[in-house]
Amino acid sequence: MALNKVEICGVNTSKLPLLNNEEKDALFARIQEGDEEARELYIKGNLRLVLSVIKRFSSSNENADDLFQIGCIGLIKAIDNFDSTLNVKFSTYAVPMIIGEIRRYLRDNNSIRVSRSLRDTAYKAIYAKEGYMKKHLKEPTINEIADEIGIAKEDIVFAMDAIQSPVSLYDPVYTEGGDTLYVMDQISDKKNKEENWVESISLNEAIKRLNERERHIIELRFFQGKTQMEVANEINISQAQVSRLEKNALKSMKNYLR
């Protein structure tokens, strides 16, 4: 899988534009007003992000051009669904979308095939979940999805597990300016789309195996975004104790997800 070539899918990667934050903000404001030219410029200005992500799949032996095209679909979905009012960088939101699109492509083209019935169940659950979010502006529970599509929740979990690729909380997904973004960094994203929801099922199962105090700390730290000091003050222990309990909890979750 050659990723260092200058041209990929007819795009000269050495000439891709680099947009600063001010330019991105200005373009996105125009996109929200329906400016198609701004949308095209924004897509081109983020193609390097797609190139960075597909390097993660270098061991898949898939054609780089194919992965780039699929990654671009994920990028476009991210642009169309990104909420600029949230205090989240676009790259932080877009990376899971691009990864999810590529994983879905690799999954559907894998030599180890998941049965059609399992895939149908999983996709029904995904579409039901997306429809529920649009209607209620919140993520549904497994029970709510089961009621919506008339399938037992156990069958839904099994089907979702069958189509997913195993992932570690500490897998690097993107590096920008020397700062690496890991899967763990995505857990607290309250606007998760279907690509992250598949992973969150396994994460939730890992969290359930923690004791009550560890679960509470993980909830406060990664789902509510509190600092270790804020957590320490809330549960009346030292910051050092919070740090130790958090590390133990993350280690347990990592071992479960292997």
Query: What band does 24 get if pLDDT is binned at 50, 70 and 90?
Result: confident
The pLDDT assigned to 149 comes to 92
Nearest 5°: the CA angle 170, 173, 174 is: 125
Residue pLDDT, tens place only, 110-168: 544 556 677 778 888 888 888 888 888 888 888 899 999 999 888 888 777 766 655 55
Residue pLDDT, tens place only, 59-87: 667 778 888 888 898 899 888 888 877 77
For the chain, domains (ranges, CATH) are 5-106 (1.20.120.1810), 112-186 (1.10.10.10), 191-255 (1.10.10.10)
| Distance (Å, whole) CA 93 – CA 102 | 15
The pLDDT assigned to 197 comes to 45
| Distance (Å, whole) CA 249 – CA 232 | 16
Share of the chain above pLDDT 70, in %: 73
The pLDDT assigned to 150 comes to 92
Residue pLDDT, tens place only, 203-215: 777 788 889 889 8
Residue pLDDT, tens place only, 92-114: 888 888 888 888 888 766 544 55
Report DSSP state, residue 177.
T
Residue pLDDT, tens place only, 37-51: 988 889 888 888 888
The alpha carbon of residue 112 and the mean position of all alpha carbons in its chain are separated, in whole angstroms, by: 23
Chain position carrying tokens 């903000």: 25
The pLDDT assigned to 243 comes to 85
Task: Find, among 27, 48, 47, 50, the residue nearest to 39 by Cα.
Answer: 27
The pLDDT assigned to 1 comes to 44
**188 SS3 class:** coil
- The tokens describing 257, both together, are 């997800």
Chain position carrying tokens 């676009």: 90
**Cβ atoms within 10 Å of 3's Cβ, excluding its own:** 15
Query: What band does 23 get if pLDDT is binned at 50, 70 and 90?
Result: confident
- The residue among 13 and 25 whose pLDDT is bigger is 25
Residue pLDDT, tens place only, 173-226: 555 555 555 555 544 444 444 444 445 556 777 788 889 889 889 888 877 888
Does residue 246 surpass a pLDDT of 50? yes
